[in-house]
Amino acid sequence: MSKNKSDKFSPADLDTPTDLSPEAVEKISAAVNPLIADAFALYLKTKNFHWHISGRHFRDYHLMLDEQGEAIFATIDELAERIRKIGGTTMRSIGHVAKLKTIKDNDETYVPPREMLRELMEDNKKTVVNMRKAHDIADKYNDSATTSILENFIDQAERRTWFLFEASRQEGSNAA
């Protein structure tokens, strides 16, 4: 049921009960919210490259980037809902995402396919590093649910990194 204009809302309306301390909620939220912002940015960049990939491996790259985009997008809701479950607050706007994200945009008209894959590989590696930092913070406050979610997402991001690395290698080369 919605409240009418005369009803007042207060921060207490969002105060989800939790056994975590207010400090834990604040620190964990502060660590996970940039991950959500980065997931939005990485999702959009992955879809951008998915839409604009070209060349002889088009089909394989196009399908791989579509699959990776879906996996990245799926992390957003799970991370945001985790923050809400512990009583924190999360993204409210694109502007908020822009303030917190660490993934750089790529607005170039044309990016060669190998460079696309390498850039996404580096972005996924950066995501793993940031997830590990957030994991350490959640672990410090004994938030096993957040650490468990992050462990799964770290594994997924490492898989994306691996696939992007292998796909971006020069054919006939053992080196990157």
Q: Which CATH number covers residue 134?
A: 1.20.1260.10
- Radius of gyration of the chain from Cα atoms? 19
The count of structural domains within the chain is 1
Identify whether 1 is part of a domain. no
Find the mean pLDDT for residues 30-43. 98
Q: Is the pLDDT of residue 87 over 60?
A: yes
Return the pLDDT at 4.
55
Identify whether 5 is part of a domain. no
Identify whether 120 is part of a domain. yes
What gap in Å lies between CA 64 and CA 121, rounded to an integer? 13
What gap in Å lies between CA 21 and CA 115, rounded to an integer? 45
Identify whether 175 is part of a domain. no
Q: Is the pLDDT of residue 176 over 50?
A: no
- Tens of pLDDT, residue by residue over 137-172, are 999 999 999 999 999 999 999 999 999 999 999 755
Return the pLDDT at 86.
96
Return the pLDDT at 29.
97
Identify whether 70 is part of a domain. yes
What is the domain extent for residue 127? 21-168
Identify whether 176 is part of a domain. no
Identify whether 46 is part of a domain. yes
